[in-house]
Amino acid sequence: MNKSGFHTWEFVPHQHQGPAAHTGEDDHIHSPGKHNGAFKSRGLATFMGAPYCPPDRDAIRRMGAKICFLGVPWDQGQMVRAGTSQGPSGIREASTQYFPYMFEFDVDLMTFFRPVDCGDVPTVPGNNERSHEYIYQYVTECLEGGAKVILCGGDHSVPIPGSRALSDFHRDGRIGYLHVDCHLDSAPDWEGSPYTNCSGPARAFDLPNCDGGNMAHMCSRNGLNPKDWVDFWIDNKVRMIPMQEVVDRGIEVCSKEIFDIAWDGTDGVYWSWDTDSIDASCMPGTTAPETFGLKPREVIKHARIAGTYGADIFEISELTPHFDVSDMSIKLACCMIYQYLGSRARTLLDQGKSP
Amino acid sequence: MNPAKNFEHLFSPLGDPENFKTLGVVTFLRSPQVSMEADALKDSGARFAFMGIPYDEGNVGKPGCEEGPQAFRVASHEYFPYWFEYQVDLEGSCVDCGNVRIPKVMPQLAHDRIYRAVREVLASDMVPVICGGDHSISISAAKALSDHIGENRKMGYLYFGAHLEMADSWAGEKMASPCTLARISELPNVDTANMGHVGARNSMNPKDHVELARERGIRFHSMDEALDRGLETVISEAGGQVWDGTDAQYLSFNMNIMDASAAPGVTAPEPGGFESREMMQTANLLGRMGSASIIEISDLAPVFDVSGTTSKLAACIVLRLMASMAKQRGEFVDQGIRRTDLR
């Protein structure tokens, strides 16, 4: 907060503070000068070391932030094993191992997007509906603040309030919805509840301005896909690309196809990426690890293709750091976001656009 | 090949008390222990001298690669010296000269000892097979090779890793692992055109690293390029740079070249890297060069490993490289050899 009481976007690398402070332009994209800097001696654990911004539309606007990182420490909307409430902190932790500079795209994510970390959404233990209401409200603040959202779950019930927020944000237009997951998640309900992590796409389909023709899924596989989930995609004529088809046709073609569907005549896109879409060998730190999934180089390709299209909300879910091995899962999840943002920045720069 | 050689080691255990699971003294591939002295090493008649360098004070991220050499040795015990794919026998080709004694909190002294140890081994005309430790050990080991061959001869340096390591300095330090390739590019008999780098990816490659690499004319092949153009093309190209007109070649493998899923036991696991089979292919391609002056593995961190997979992969890379080189030199096992007790 500045002296007038307003928050302004000011990125101060942690190494610029304290008695051993050193300052230099672009310190955050260069090797540290005087000491190990924010690389190991971090300041407050924010995503990418970005400034904190209150989850408030006016504060976000005043800061001119174009990306809001919003955590959702919620794992009571799911029916497998708990632990994904620690997902957001896992990604923040992994981001301390990366610089905001990406040599593959020659972009500085920090100065290009002016990202902020809006902290975590408050949740209500034992009450999925009330927690979802908070998620809806906080996502809405970020969108109304003029930013795109990196929404980090939390279990895969998060897209239910998340896509509702995007639907209302574009109430006069249409939205697309993408679901990348090893599960189809299209249960009409689960034991009577329509709002668990099994029903993301089903609830998106219910939204007034989300047409099935602008929805798509990819990466489904194996035996946690009951018949009523499959029937949803077939009966509603919604495009569903199972993992075998991804393997047969290639990640590039399939990724482009689903983004083309989502952006066909729409005003915004909700892109939901469940970490269990990734092969269990590369993503042990997820709620329901599943074999026969995406490998990291395909993950990176998918993220980069997404970056050429963009999305209003990019949600990562089911990351579960306490099942992780040697940080490989949190680092891959973080890498997904960085590769997406790197590709997005390069795309916009090449088009002469700002974020 | 030595005609007096005993060939029992080529076969299933024959009832000798030294059975497959009895570790005994843990040396690289159960090879003899030889002290780190040029004369003693020369007398061994071997080609490769394994040396551990348990140093990780050049590391800027997760610690843990001090334990690399020991885990590497243990993993090597799960292999025979006979490699059927290449029809070669590595028995007698290597010795283990133990670990370099590394002091704590005295990095300059540590580097000095690394330098002297590698020079001593090189003086015996053997190929040091080094297991780190973090990658900064390469700074002193490469300097040792550079001084060993003298300024009138040229050397090349080939690196496999996720990070460019081209920081002029890191936190004011010149000998930290992110500075490794920058220091090596400054050696008097290293022409940067003879440096190769394969596998750089993701966001632990700050801007100054890329700029310094370009400024010094180091042609690096990023992981993207390796995938786009094919591993074989890229490795041949990078290898070509390193062997082109050089008298000595340093091969350095940071275990973070591997995808994090293939090698969790590293200091900085990085998504999107090599798969195991690609590394096997790499070892075969490099082995075709027939020889190298130093082979080095770094950043093996067993504490983060799962089921010993990373240590085993590290040992497998080195042994396949040695086997592939032996094949290239035509050092084949006599195909007529059989167990005598079955006749």
Token representation of residue B142: 């490469």
Considering only CA atoms, which of B61, B40, B59 is closest in space to residue B134?
B59
* Minimum-distance CB partner of B170 among A31, A97, A295: A31
Any A CB within 8 A of B209 CB: yes
> Cβ contact (<8 Å) for B273 and A35?
no
> Cβ contact (<8 Å) for B60 and A40?
yes
**What is the radius of gyration, based on Cα positions, of chain B?**
19
Handedness of CA B73, B74, B75, B76 (dihedral sign): positive
Residue A42 CB contacts under 8 Å (≥ 6 apart), including other chains: A14, A49, A96
Binding-face residues of A in 24-83 toward B, CB within 8 A: 26, 29-37, 39-40
Residue B23 has pLDDT above 80, yes or no: no
Q: Pairing state of beta strands B248-254 and B294-298?
A: parallel
A321 CB neighbours in chain B (<8 A) are none
Asked if B62 and B267 touch (Cβ cutoff 8 Å), the reply is yes
> Cβ contact (<8 Å) for B205 and A29?
no
Any B CB within 8 A of A294 CB: no
Question: Which of B164, B197, B207, B304 would best serve as a mutation to test chain A binding (most A beta carbons within 10 A)?
Answer: B207
Considering only CA atoms, which of A161, A131, A129, A180 is closest in space to residue A305?
A180
Distance from CA of A272 to the nearest CA of B (A): 20
A106 CB neighbours in chain B (<8 A) are 210
B261 CB neighbours in chain A (<8 A) are 279, 281-282, 295-296, 328
Any B CB within 8 A of A331 CB: yes
Q: How far is CA A82 from the centre of its chain?
A: 19
The band of B292, judged by pLDDT with boundaries at 50, 70 and 90, is very high
> Cβ contact (<8 Å) for A30 and B208?
yes
Asked if B145 and B293 touch (Cβ cutoff 8 Å), the reply is yes
Residue B9, judged by CB atoms within 10 A of its CB (0-12, 13-18, 19+), counts as middle
* Minimum-distance CB partner of A325 among B170, B203, B306: B306
The residue-averaged pLDDT of A4-9 equals: 71
Q: Pairing state of beta strands A175-180 and A268-274?
A: parallel
Pick the residue from chain A with its C-alpha nearest to B256: A328
Residue B24 has pLDDT above 90, yes or no: no
> Cβ contact (<8 Å) for B261 and A35?
no
Interface contacts (A, B; CB < 8 Å):
119
The residue-averaged pLDDT of B207-214 equals: 97
The residue-averaged pLDDT of A86-98 equals: 95
Helices (H), chain B: 38-44, 68-76, 107-123, 137-149, 180-184, 207-215, 223-229, 231-243, 276-287, 309-328
**DSSP assignments along B255-317, one per residue:** GGGBBTTT--SBSS-BTT-B-HHHHHHHHHHHHTT---SEEEEE-B-GGG-STTHHHHHHHHH
Asked if B231 and B276 touch (Cβ cutoff 8 Å), the reply is no
Helices (H), chain A: 37-40, 57-63, 87-95, 109-113, 128-144, 159-169, 200-206, 227-235, 243-249, 251-262, 296-309, 328-350
Could you give the CA distance from residue B108 to residue B115 in angstroms, rounded to a whole number? 11
Token representation of residue B322: 């040695």
Pick the residue from chain B with its C-alpha nearest to A108: B207
The band of B122, judged by pLDDT with boundaries at 50, 70 and 90, is very high
Could you give the CA distance from residue A303 to residue A277 in angstroms, rounded to a whole number? 13
Strand, coil or helix: A5:
coil
Could you give the CA distance from residue A163 to residue A148 in angstroms, rounded to a whole number? 13
The residue-averaged pLDDT of B105-126 equals: 97
ipTM (interface pTM): 0.86
Peptide bond into B133 cis (omega under 30): yes
Average pLDDT, chain B: 94
Residue A215 has pLDDT above 70, yes or no: yes
Question: Which of A326, A329, A343 would best serve as a mutation to test chain B binding (most B beta carbons within 10 A)?
Answer: A326
B178 CB neighbours in chain A (<8 A) are 31
- Render pLDDT for B65-97 as a digit per residue (tens, 0 to 9): 999 999 999 999 999 999 999 999 999 999 999
User: What is this structure's pTM?
Assistant: 0.91
Asked if A311 and A148 touch (Cβ cutoff 8 Å), the reply is yes
> Which pLDDT belongs to residue B290?
83
